[in-house]
Amino acid sequence: AHPGTSLCHQMLFFIRAAILIQNWYRFTMARLEMRRRYSLSIFQSIEYADEQDQLQVFSTLLFFFPFVPVSHIFTSPSVSQVVDEGLYLTEFEKKIDVPDSYYGPRLSFPLTVEDANALLHAFRNEQLLHARYVLQLLYETRRVLKEMPNITHLSTSYSKEITVCGDLHGNLDDLLLIFYKNGLPSEQNRYVFNGDFVDRGKNSMEILIILFAFLLIYPNDLHLNRGNHEDYIMNLRYGFTKEVSKKYKDHGQQILCLLRDVFSWLPLATIIDSKVLILHGGISDTTDLDFLNALERNKLTCLLSSLCSGNSFFFFFFLKLKSLMQPPKSVRDRQDQLKERIPTTRPSKHTAGKTQHISLSGSAEPSGSNLPPDPALKEWKQILDILWSDPRSQNGCTPNKCRGGGCYFGPDVTAKLFERYNLKMLIRSHEFKPEGYEISHNGKVITIFSASNYYEEGSNRGAYIKLNPELIPRFVQYQVSKVGTIESSALKCLREKIYAHRSELTSAFAQYDLNGTGRISVNDWAAAMESVLQLELPWRMLRSQLAQTTPDGEVDFMSCFYDLKIGQPIKEVQPALVETLCRYRKDLEIIFNVIDKDRSGLISLEEFGQTWKLFASHLGIDVYDESLDKLVLSIDYNKDGHIDFNEFLEAFHVAELVGCLGSSPSCH
């Protein structure tokens, strides 16, 4: 063959090979992106469902104590009991000794930049700041915050740029990376941190210490807005309370109580150059910035204390153990009436319009006698909306049913607020974004999220915004993505959710399996999964990861539960009990923490007795000491005089068994 022809064939071969490789690469990247997106969708759907459950569990406690102050239910000492308003910094030195064996930072007030650098160095090396200095720092922080307005006004004329950061959620590495890339706070390098500093991550306390230290050093140049997780009840569930109790065993209660007060004094919003509004969540069609700027923000230490709808799980616990209490028939009749009045946990989106529930959106009027009276109701609604709301592309303002609090606000709601207050841009956080930020409402609303690897390593980038005097936002992103890790972790979370709803799913599958074959179509399987879990996930796409199919393409629906490894149940415990514990474990943890007043990780018999008597008295039930002793002894399995969390869980095994013995055949 002619040499030129051979060369031509070789060139064609290489071109075809290059095209094939290019097509394969594009196809592979598209598949990876698809897997990444559905993995993030799983994480976010479960997160929002979990937040809604959190609101409902706490609301259930309020349902039973409608006329009892929250402080009587959550019986931590008041701040005045723990840290007196008039206490001087030197008093901490007298009351709390710092041993010579402590090698961490030793702070002196007023703080200097050298102190802040010492803190950064210590936390990089996983050192703890001694409790004395933590309490002194919190005391000083509260003093400074009390002097600040509800809405802080800043100007870019004093510095070239202002940096705005979103949720950090206890991810210390993100804060350190931001400071590395963008520089430490100073008079020339101003920052606004937009709430949700704590929970979920393992270094929430260190983040607070660093931010509060720089706040004390540069009170005019570092600014903090309150987020929905700067809330005592949220901290009970999402890890911050446990983190503080673990790190500061002897003084954890004092620190938590003082933090509760510090959180209540955090400003609600920041406005830059009278044009850019920065707040944590969003707005509603009733948001009134003038009203927000005038209210007493510290009165609402916990927004969740005003919610009054919820599921009946705590009540369910009481009813299941009532055989040990033997209430009179008249009271049992009252309990049955109460049970009928309690709304379902999360109404189906198809029946939501028919379900009685209290709207937590500022755009709708809540019903029920347990909400705070006016004007406290208006204050609560205004703050709830700006901390919990999310934007959406459709016009209007509707209750945020995914989260269970706040609202969804559309472009028209944004435009109305901007016109009223002559604003140009809204910067908010509160929502996970894969790229660390998102622009919506025709460029008027920006979501900034600074916690990278939020769900799992590689799940998302973090980002922050730099605003120049022209108020043009510049986004800075960081971190990388590893799809395989994200996907496996997301599917693990989803499988746990599936296991927790095994009974309902089995029943839903059976409705499509009229002939009892154990097989249904993919469409029917997807419909059943969504009807029970209500996560709005691409079930058909996920089917191959969750269930097996037969040769003719039908789904073996029981295969959803084949390879789930939630933990080996005790042999004599029925499978339904494991499912129940899996579903309600987080709810039980909240209740356990509520009873555990001293945060010791153990419930003393005295703590249990006091809480139970309070609970029973408000249901009108006479509790005799002998009956209460029998109840406590039945839970204290190892008879050491304390109830740990595992023993607390065992009580629910007993409760389920007692309930099944005398109930309908549906118990199995």
User: For 357-390, what is the HEC assignment?
Assistant: CCCCCCCCCCCCCCCCCCCHHHHHHHHHHHHHCE
Contacts 24+ apart (CB under 8 A), 520-527: 520/554, 520/555, 520/557, 521/553, 521/554, 521/555, 522/549, 522/553, 522/554, 522/555, 524/555, 525/555, 525/557
What average pLDDT does range 328-346 have in this prediction? 40
Q: Are 417 and 283 contacting, i.e. CB atoms less than 8 angstroms apart? A: yes
Q: So what's the pLDDT on residue 10?
A: 66
Min mean pLDDT across 33-37, 122-126, 492-496 is at 33-37
| Structure confidence at residue 567 (pLDDT) | 43
Portion of the chain with pLDDT greater than 90, in percent: 38
Q: Which phi and psi (to 5°) does residue 540 adopt? A: -65, -40
The candidate with the shortest Cα–Cα distance to 54, out of 201, 305, 233, 300, is 233
Strand bridging mode 390-391 / 407-409 = parallel
Would you call 191 helix, strand, or coil by DSSP?
A: strand
**581 φ, ψ to 5°?**
-65, -40
Instruction: Give the CB-side neighbour count of residue 198, counting CA atoms within 13 A.
Output: 32
Provide the pLDDT confidence category of residue 142 given band limits of 50, 70 and 90.
Answer: very high
Could you tell me if 76 and 256 are in contact, meaning their C-beta atoms sit under 8 angstroms apart? yes
Q: Higher confidence at residue 650 or residue 208?
A: 208
Is residue 602 over pLDDT 60? yes
**For residues 223 and 229, what is the distance between their CA atoms, to the nearest angstrom?**
17
Q: For the ranges 289-293, 420-424, 564-568, which has the lowest average pLDDT?
A: 564-568
> What pLDDT does 416 receive?
97
Determine the distance from the C-alpha atom of residue 258 to the mean position of all C-alpha atoms in its chain, rounded to a whole number: 21
Under DSSP, is residue 475 helix (H, G, I), strand (E, B) or coil?
A: strand
Write the CB contacts of 21 (distance below 8 Å, at least 6 apart in sequence). none
Cis before residue 185, ω within 30 degrees of 0?
A: no
Distance of CA 403 to the CA centre of its chain: 10
Strand partners, 438: 447
What SS3 class is residue 549?
strand
Q: Do the bridges between strand 642-643 and strand 603-604 make them parallel or antiparallel, or are there none, so unpaired?
A: antiparallel
Amino acid at 289: L
- Out of 210-219, 570-579, 606-615, the most confident range is 210-219
The pLDDT score that the predictor gives to residue 449 is 95
- State the pLDDT at residue 83: 52
Residue 639: its pLDDT value, please? 72
Average the pLDDT over 628-655 and give the result: 67
Residue 121: partners with Cβ closer than 8 Å, 6 or more residues away: none
148-175 burial: b if 16+ Cβ within 10 Å, else e: bebbbebebeebebbbbbbbbbbbbbbb
Who contacts 475 (Cβ-Cβ below 8 Å, separation ≥6)?
A: 436, 437, 463, 464, 465, 466
Residues in the chain: 668
Which pLDDT value is given to residue 233?
83
> Are the CB atoms for 329 and 664 separated by under 8 Å?
no
Share of the chain above pLDDT 70, in %: 62
Asked if the model's pLDDT at residue 339 lies above 60, the reply is no
Catalytic residues: 229
CB 442 within 8 A of CB 436: no
Q: Which residue has the higher pLDDT, 350 or 589?
A: 589
Average the pLDDT over 50-58 and give the result: 57
Residue type for position 131: A
- Phi/psi of residue 474, nearest 5 degrees: -120, 125
pLDDT at 60: 52
pLDDT value at 192 more than 60:
yes
Tokens of 646: 């595992």
* Nearest in space to 174 (alpha carbons), one of 483, 446, 477: 477
Per-residue pLDDT at 94 = 74
What confidence tier does 477 reach under pLDDT thresholds 50, 70, 90? very high
Q: What is the mean pLDDT of residues 427-439?
A: 93
- Rounded to an integer, the average pLDDT of 482-509 is 73
More confident residue, 25 or 385: 385
Compare 319 and 173 and report the one with higher pLDDT. 173
Instruction: Give 53's pLDDT tier (boundaries 50, 70, 90).
Output: low
Q: What's residue 651's pLDDT?
A: 62
Mean pLDDT calculated for residue range 4-24: 69
The mean pLDDT value of the chain amounts to 75
Give the pLDDT score at 314.
42
Q: Which one of 76-90, 449-463, 628-642 scores highest in mean pLDDT?
A: 449-463
Query: Each residue of 77-91: pLDDT tens digit?
Result: 444 445 555 556 677
The closest of 217, 362, 380, 357 to 286, measured between CA atoms, is 362
Find the range with the poorest average confidence among 65-69, 129-133, 446-450: 65-69
CB within 8 A of 36, min separation 6: which ones? 434, 481, 483, 486, 487
What is the structure's pLDDT at 392? 94
Q: Which of 84, 646, 194 is nearest to 446 (CA)?
A: 194
Instruction: Give yes or no for residue 299 having a pLDDT over 90.
Output: no
- End-to-end Cα spacing for the chain: 81
Please list the residues that pair with 151 across neighbouring strands: 269
Q: Find the mean pLDDT for residues 287-316.
A: 69
- Is residue 319 pLDDT above 60, yes or no? no
Mean pLDDT of 225-232: 94
DSSP conformational letter for 299: G
More confident residue, 336 or 196: 196
- The pLDDT, as a whole number, for residue 260 is 92
Q: What distance in Å separates the CA atoms of residue 656 and residue 653, rounded to the nearest whole number?
A: 5
Most trustworthy range by pLDDT among 50-54, 367-371, 411-415, 646-650: 411-415
User: Does residue 376 register a pLDDT over 90?
Assistant: no
Using the predicted structure, report yes or no on whether residue 132 has a pLDDT greater than 60.
yes
Mean pLDDT for the stretch of residues 290-312: 71
**Residues 206-211: contacts with CB within 8 Å, 24+ apart?**
206/123, 206/129, 206/172, 207/168, 207/170, 207/171, 207/172, 207/175, 208/259, 209/119, 209/123, 209/129, 209/134, 209/137, 210/116, 210/119, 210/120, 210/123, 210/175, 211/175
